[in-house]
Amino acid sequence: MNPGINASLVIIALSIYAVRLAPFIFLKGTIRSRFIRSFLYYVPYVTLAVMTFPAIITAAGNPLAGVLALAAGLAVAWIWGDLFAVACTCCAVVFVAGLFL
């Protein structure tokens, strides 16, 4: 194997470990700032949204069908809040939009 690849893997592993270890080293006490606590509370949700929304729009093959399905899914989720109903509605909207677009 190429020695450059091994060195790259070691550097990547050390940088990932350093990022995960840094909070344990620098944050020994409880975080008291309401702003930082609320920021850290919403980070997982924002990360999930950033990864999910582009996939929703592009998964149908037609961005307009994806946007229509997203809008319909948001409406159904707002009214009923049932995940199965949201998924069925989005699939139906993409199917119908695919027929007409």
For residue 90, give both structure tokens. Answer: 């989005």
> Are 58 and 70 a contacting pair, CB within 8 Å?
no
This model's pTM is above 0.75? no
Print pLDDT tens along the chain (101 aa): 677 898 999 999 999 999 899 888 888 888 888 998 999 899 999 999 999 989 989 988 899 999 999 999 999 999 998 999 999 999 999 999 989 98
- Distance (Å) of CA 94 to CA 53, 78, 97: 15, 19, 5
Q: How far apart are CA 49 and CA 17, in angstroms?
A: 25
Q: Map tokens 């999930």 to a residue.
A: 48
